[in-house]
């Protein structure tokens, strides 16, 4: 018996044990990248799920990918997404980002006593907000799964950038799965006619992912890395994503007038932050219904990019639709806040879970990459200190889906973290 056969024999004897193995390749040839990844993962017993992340540098080769993997790896379910670059561990077991670099990552998981149900919601799905749970019941394969899904505690979801109802989909998830954690991301764009999502043997659009319950769950965290500048304002006059007037202490001003006034009140440090970056925090109120039928409302600020200004009237365009009465607040990047958020948040999750996580998930905004910003946020280097021995599966996305105070939001310029751990006994 050779060493590979012996290794496979031992793993099969331990078939009831959990495992997590992942592999990363930066070879610019898809065939060689697949060979490298599969060589690192060969001889593993059948995985319950495979998570695939591939940089959009390979977009022209997306249709060839799944047949190559299927011939070499063993898994029951596969989900995957195109990303702006893969985040993973290098040969020295240090976390590294590979933004805008040809990169491929595959993570194989065996999770005994877990009930894992994949889903695919088509691009043209209709979400009836009078019955938001229907779209989720329709996407499961049988009635039994749909009924049991209400008790699932965690989910991971990838959304194609062509999906026009992402926010409605996220809200309907919270309605349908009131006890669940959700983590996800918007895949990166490419110019071809096919989608950016991978499900089993299909390359598709829409939204894909899995829900999981039983002995395993995903604990989630959102870190924004921004500092508020100035007071909270109220939207007074707006047309879709163009903000004309805000209310501050019952005084109406344009956003540009407010910023001109704000500059004089900022400290030297805050002025330096403002010169490097500026965002608008937008209050996002989500509704959630508890198992007892109680309505819960959560208002939290999500970070949105600025698109431009109109100097003639002081209006401001952003990457979100606003409504009259909504609360907004300007924000700027802050490295120290980012580090503190990560340290406090991750340590809190680790203390909460008790057991060591089997996998770390990191779905980060393209705008947070070192290459995109020119700033080293230190997210990876910093978290390596207390997560370094745990496998990391991550990538850069067009938008990130994560929960704050139990409600799910579509974020910009944020990082969504997930720790896959065994569920504590009730």
β pairing state of 75-83 and 47-55: parallel
Q: What is the pLDDT of residue 150?
A: 52
Q: What is the mean pLDDT of residues 366-385?
A: 61
Predicted local confidence at residue 127, as pLDDT: 85
Position 426 confidence tier, pLDDT thresholds 50, 70, 90: low
Alpha-carbon separation of residue 244 from 346, 366, 391 (angstroms)? 39, 29, 47
How much of the chain, in percent, has pLDDT values that exceed 70?
A: 86
Chain length of the chain: 426
In contact, 299 and 283? CB cutoff 8 Å: yes
Euclidean distance between CA atoms 379 and 152, whole angstroms: 30
What is the spatial distance between Cα 254 and Cα 232, in angstroms, rounded to a whole number?
14
Residue showing tokens 């060969």: 42
Look at 85-99, 113-127, 318-332 and tell me which has the smallest mean pLDDT: 85-99
Highest mean pLDDT among 22-31, 293-302, 376-385: 22-31
CA end-to-end distance (rounded Å), the chain: 45
Nearest to 26 by CA among 93, 108, 100: 100
pTM for the full predicted model: 0.83
**Residue 379: pLDDT band by 50, 70, 90 thresholds?**
low
CA distance 287 to 249: 28
Q: Which residues contact 26 (CB under 8 A, 6 or more apart)?
A: 33, 98, 101, 102, 103
Using a 10 angstrom Cβ sphere, with 0-12 exposed, 13-18 middle and 19 or more buried, the burial of residue 224 is buried
pLDDT tops 90 at residue 134 = no
pLDDT, residue 55, reads 96
Q: Starting from the edge strand earliest in sequence, which strands make up the sheet with 207-214, in order?
A: 114-121, 207-214, 154-159, 181-186, 399-404, 407-411
**Which of 212-221, 273-282, 283-292 is the least confident region?**
283-292
Query: What are 175-218's pLDDT values in tens digits?
Result: 888 878 999 999 999 999 999 999 999 999 999 999 998 889 99
Pairing of strands 251-253, 47-55: unpaired
Contact 300, 272 (CB under 8 A): no
Spatial neighbors of 7 by CB under 8 A, at least 6 apart, are 43
Cβ-based neighbour number of residue 93 at 10 Å: 11
Burial class, 335, CB count within 10 angstroms (exposed 0-12 / middle 13-18 / buried 19+): middle
């Amino acid at each position: 018996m050779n060493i590979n056969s012996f290794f496979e024999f031992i793993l099969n004897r331990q078939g009831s044990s959990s495992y997590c193995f992942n592999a990363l390749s930066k070879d610019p040839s898809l065939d060689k990248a697949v060979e490298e990844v599969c060589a690192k993962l060969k001889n593993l017993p059948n995985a319950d799920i495979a998570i695939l992340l591939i940089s959009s540098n390979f977009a022209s080769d997306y249709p060839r990918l799944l047949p190559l993997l299927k011939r070499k790896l063993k898994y029951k379910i596969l989900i995957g997404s195109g990303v702006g670059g893969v985040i993973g561990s290098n040969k020295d077991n240090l976390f590294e980002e590979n933004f805008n670099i040809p990169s491929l990552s595959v993570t194989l998981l065996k999770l005994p006593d877990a009930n894992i149900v994949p889903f695919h919601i088509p691009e043209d799905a209709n979400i009836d907000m009078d019955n938001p749970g229907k779209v989720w019941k329709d996407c499961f394969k049988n009635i039994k799964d749909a009924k049991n899904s209400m008790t699932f505690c965690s989910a991971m979801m990838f959304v194609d950038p062509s999906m026009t109802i992402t926010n409605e989909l996220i809200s309907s998830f919270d309605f349908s799965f009131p006890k669940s954690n959700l983590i996800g991301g918007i895949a990166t764009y490419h110019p071809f006619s096919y989608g950016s999502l991978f499900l089993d043997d299909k390359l598709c659009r829409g939204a894909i992912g899995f829900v999981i319950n039983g002995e395993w769950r995903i604990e989630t965290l959102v870190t924004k890395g921004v500092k508020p500048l100035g007071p909270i304002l109220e939207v007074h006059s707006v047309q879709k994503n163009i903000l004309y007037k805000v209310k501050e202490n019952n005084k109406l001003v344009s956003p540009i007038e407010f910023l001109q006034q704000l500059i004089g009140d900022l400290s030297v440090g805050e002025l330096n932050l403002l010169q490097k970056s500026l965002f608008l925090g937008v209050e996002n109120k989500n509704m959630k219904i508890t198992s007892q039928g109680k309505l819960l409302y959560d208002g939290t600020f999500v970070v949105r990019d600025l698109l431009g200004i109109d100097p003639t009237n002081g209006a401001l365009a952003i990457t979100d639709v606003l409504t009259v009465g909504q609360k907004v607040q300007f924000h700027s990047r802050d490295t120290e806040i980012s580090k503190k958020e990560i340290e406090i948040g991750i340590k809190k999750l680790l203390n909460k879970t008790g057991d060591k996580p089997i996998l770390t998930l990191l779905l980060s905004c393209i705008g947070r990459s070192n290459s995109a910003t020119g700033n080293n946020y230190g997210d990876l280097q910093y978290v390596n200190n207390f997560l370094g021995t745990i496998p990391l599966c991550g990538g850069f996305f067009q938008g990130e889906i994560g929960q704050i105070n139990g409600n799910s939001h579509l974020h910009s310029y944020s990082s969504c973290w997930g720790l896959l751990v065994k569920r504590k006994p009730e």
